[in-house]
Structure 1
Amino acid sequence: MLKKITSDQVCLGMYIHGFEGSWIDHPFWKARFLLQNPRDLGKIRDSAVTAVWIDSSKGLDCRAAAPAVASESPASSAATPAMSPAVVAAAPVAAPVAVAPSVKAPAAVRLGSCQQELAQAAEVSTHAKYQVARLFQDARLGKAIDLGEMDAVVEQISASVLRHPSAMISLTRLRTADEYTYIHSVSVCALMTAVARQMELSTAEVQAAGTAGLLHDVGKLLTPPEVLNKPGRLTDEEFSVMKRHPEQGVALLQEWQASAETIDVCRHHHEKFDGSGYPDGLAGTQISLLSRIAAVCDVYDAISSTRPYKTAWSPAESIRRMAEWTGHFDPQVFQAFVKTLGIYPIGSLVRLSTEQLAVVVDQHPDNLLTPKVRVFFSSRSRTPLPQRLLDLSRAPAGERILRRELPEEWGFRNLERLWQQA
């Protein structure tokens, strides 16, 4: 039986079913667990949580608890404040970008800087890539698949996203061509987890989003390698073969007894909001929310990654172009996605009002327009400058971002070295 009690009524031995309010108010990744550690009890009482849901059938009851209520937690809202995609599309030339400075990134997610999380995110990414590669290899060999092993992978990725959403997402863009399939799965998992949290979905929905992201492309196991890795434009016949992977993935996931949410995302992550996608031509809210999130995350990771047939677009350029694709994405989901990564995602090359070039190294928790940047080049003299970190939220009056720049137009390579520096 579920009961709602105040945080000061919580005691050791209770089974925590959930926390009242937004996920950002509580200090735990898992919302459901048996409370056994005195430290965890202290965290609950010291947090902003005012009420806790306990399951008395799985742990201790409390005499001081509130009367039993219906056994379901309050519904979560997926609403996101409006922000037109046109705003994002205009950002490369606008000065300043036409977004209210009060538009917030998911500040409470960040427990440290991006640089502090990078090392741990790299370990998580490497382990996740190995696990996904092993899953794919076992599937090719016809071995029995236990998807329960993927739960821990999703939890590790989600924990990294919780500590800092951009570290894992930025790292997974750095990949070799031969590991694209595996890292793409890890990246979409991280992206979907971050967007689901931005949209304030429940803990269970965030976990479902991560699992679906990790497994959304399993159907490509059955796509012929000569089509999957072709270093050029696909013919109509080859594209027809490629378009079978969602349905082929569904068959695999059903065999593996995957969740309904995972199967749905596998089948529908190529649907478009205007109904022009495949395989079912669904439109609007006919497409599940997780599949609409997957559609955005899958495309972003694909176009911001180097493939055999194309060079990667920069993070900022990828978002700008996606904003121009009218009808492709759910506008509300796309807004949440932009707020998650920032108008100037980590790794973006920007021109400042001082005519200096800089790379974005971290987002400001309260303002998407004032990230932290590493200044390194003069656009006037076209010469390198002594590198300096600049927090644009504390910069001298008038010092701001003018616009995005394309690294290839400046001949810059390996800009990741700048944003990975401590």
Structure 2
Amino acid sequence: MHDIRLIRENPEAFDAGLARRGLGPMSSEILAADASLRALQTEMQAALARRNEASKAIGHAMAKGDKDSADALKAEVAALKQRLPEQEASERTQLAALQDSLAALPNLPAADVPQGEDEQSNVEISRWGTPRSFDFEPKEHADFAPALGLDFETAAKMSGARFAFLKGPMARLERALGQFMLDKQTSEAGYSECATPLLVRDEAAFGTAQLPKFREDLFQTTDGMWLISTSEMSLTNAVREEILAEADLPIRMTGLTPCFRSEAGAAGRDTRGYIRQHQFWKVELVSIVRPEDSDAELERKTRAAEAILEALELPYRKMLLCAGDMGFAARKTYDLEVWLPGQNSYREISSCSNCGDFQARRMNARFRREGAKGTEFVHTLNGSGLAVGRTLVAILENYQQADGSVDIPQALLSYMGGIRRLTP
């Protein structure tokens, strides 16, 4: 959600930020609605003041025996009272329309975010690791992993496309990955483990900006709840409608949860394999910080995600997303892309974003500085540390052998109960 005061103070900067997102100017329309609302509110305040003044004057007129003046004042007060419900209804309607307009607009890019319309304009920041040289032609995971227990056919019989049924050591490997990531983020990166609801209400989905724009990408239950598309939704909303003490910040939370996405906007993409599923596991990293700390926290969070890839010895690159490729709520985003030899390309495995106060305004999440009377909105950040299914894919493709088997990375052996290799 955007701060209407900042739009009033600098409408040109607001429109310039929207232009970087590929949107036309909106400040004139928003400020016109804001002016109309404020004029109505001023009118209501004046009417209320006049009603109170007239009510007092009635008593004075009666005390003086001036019945005509008292009757006129009574009629005026009655007219003011009669009009009040209409004014209040109009205020609610105008306020809701203004808030809807603000809520529908994406966050504005930070100053150091590169200009561009799509992923072609993203900027590579760094690379880690050297892609493995194979003495055979590496395959995509979808071509050899079914023989190892990554079963798409069984899942399709009960659930349709974009689901998988993992069996035996393959299921254990996925579980080991999630546990390894969670252990590393809690013991080394300073995140507090949380077990969160998988179902949230409208207010929570709105707070993290999945609603209203991404309604079609979510699954909704018959009683109106939403399955989380990421535990960012439940973790970030932990501070919803809270006023935190400055001493409580930063708050760093992590959780390993299943995530559910309809993938309505990804028709035809990654239809084979385990890259893009309706249901998948992910370790999420959420931070709640003071405004002046959020830029440094983004670097810290991204580093925590990178550490997982490095521990698993998976080559990756770090990308700074351009303005046109960032998520709706983000003001700055780094993507980590892991090397997949079967596809001969880097693919996204983590996205770490600084949302500034954009989500905090939607959630009314604030903090009070020590010794201060007023409050400020916190800054929120989120990132994957990592997407478990995509990390499983990266291990399968990077550790595959000529005979169709897959070696287990050294970092995971203690989680695998003696299993050192997946074999057909």
TM range (shorter): under 0.3
Higher strand share: 2
Higher relative contact order (CA 8 A, sep 6+): 2
Which structure's CA Rg is the greater one? 2
TM-score (norm 2): 0.24
